[in-house]
Structure 1
Amino acid sequence: MSLIKEIDIRNRELAEEVLKVQIPSYMVEAEIIGFSDIPPLKDTVDTLQQCGETFFGYYIDEELCGAISIKVEMGEIDIHRLIVHPDHFRNGIAQRLLDFVEFNIECKEEIEIIKVSTGFKNAPAVSLYIKNGFHKVDEVRVNEQLSLTFFEKKKLNNGGDEL
């Protein structure tokens, strides 16, 4: 049985579980983009606990298989992490987590925009975001080896997708 539920990242054991998914997930991304010095690979349990993000986990039979983290501010959802353990790649988990955030996050204010960024060369992530109606809004070259692509998706006031 699978389910998505909020993770209390301040709980040390839960932060350890997230890190056990995050590190292998970002190691694959580092390999794809050809750059291993990405910040999520430097995270520790302590840095996760202090990041200020809200985490949701995708569980199969009580095993954390993927997670998404967000910050919600001024009518925007900013996706900070979308991770899936490599053992569970290509099973639709990233899609389900993305859908969960888009259609189930309740806020005191209307969500107008969802933002996310990924490595320019991370073709699977870029494809996922474009398939889900995100539009490229910027590309930033961080250094000679790394460029980031920024995406946004505008939302209608009724919670539906942009027309």
Structure 2
Amino acid sequence: MMQELQLNNQAVAEEILALQLPAYRVEAEIIGSDAIPALRDTVESIMSCGETFYGWREDGELAGAIAYKIEDGALDIHRLIVHPNHFRKGIGRRLLQYVLQEHTQFKKFIVATGSKNVPAIQLYLSEGFVEIGGFEPVPGLPITNLEKVIA
């Protein structure tokens, strides 16, 4: 079940953090770096991040979430997280498709992910994103930028 998550609710922010930490630990293993800023988040930093969150629940448990900000007329996806217990169920794809379908007023969607995170890159490519370059925020941590532009 999809729902908007209210960040002003501390219990919700605690749920997001409990989802996010194991998900990003798996990504850290995949990309060979724990320099992912989300691994240092706290309940307070999530509550004050200014992102809009949608979550997917299974049996009442927060199994996945997507978060974004609107920046320079584009919808910038900041997080797409699925708890490792719920990998390979299509939750990440459902979350991504929901945001793309619910925000058709935007013509540009952008996201960045670890260049070695092949599953994430494949997901974005399969939903019409294209690679547009990248950067290395810290040595040894290449990041790929992707965008989807609607004509």
**What residue is the counterpart of 1:161 in the other structure?**
none
1:91 aligned counterpart, secondary structure: coil
1:118 aligned counterpart, secondary structure: strand
- C-alpha distance in 2 between matches for 1:19 and 1:143: 24
The 5 A counterparts of 1:137-148 are 137-148=132-143
Q: Identity of aligned pairs, percent?
A: 46
CA displacement at 1:99 relative to structure 2 = 0.4
- C-alpha distance in 1 between matches for 2:83 and 2:54: 14
- C-alpha distance in 1 between matches for 2:76 and 2:137: 19
- C-alpha distance in 2 between matches for 1:68 and 1:22: 10
CA RMSD of aligned residues (A): 1.1
- C-alpha distance in 1 between matches for 2:79 and 2:71: 16
CA displacement at 1:147 relative to structure 2 = 0.9
Structure 1's consecutive aligned runs of 4 or more residues displaced over 6 angstroms after TM superposition are none
Task: Give CA-to-partner distance per residue, 1:118-137, whole Å, 9 cap, x none.
Answer: 00111110111111110111
Task: Give CA-to-partner distance per residue, 1:98-129, whole Å, 9 cap, x none.
Answer: 000000137xxx31100000001111101111
- C-alpha distance in 1 between matches for 2:142 and 2:48: 26
Rg comparison, structure with higher value: 1
- C-alpha distance in 1 between matches for 2:26 and 2:148: 26
Listed as ranges, the gaps of 5+ residues in structure 1 are: 157-163
**What residue is the counterpart of 1:62 in the other structure?**
60
**What residue is the counterpart of 2:11 in the other structure?**
13
The residue identity in structure 2 corresponding to 1:135 is V
Choose the corresponding residue for 2:131, options 132, 136, 150: 136
- C-alpha distance in 2 between matches for 1:9 and 1:26: 19
Aligned residues: 151
CA displacement at 1:144 relative to structure 2 = 2.2
The residue identity in structure 2 corresponding to 1:116 is V
- C-alpha distance in 2 between matches for 1:78 and 1:39: 16
CA displacement at 1:74 relative to structure 2 = 4.2
Q: TM-score normalized by structure 1?
A: 0.89
CA displacement at 1:75 relative to structure 2 = 3.0
**What residue is the counterpart of 1:112 in the other structure?**
107
2:139 aligned counterpart, secondary structure: coil
Task: Give CA-to-partner distance per residue, 1:69-121, whole Å, 9 cap, x none.
Answer: 01124431110000000000000000000000000137xxx311000000011
- C-alpha distance in 2 between matches for 1:47 and 1:82: 17
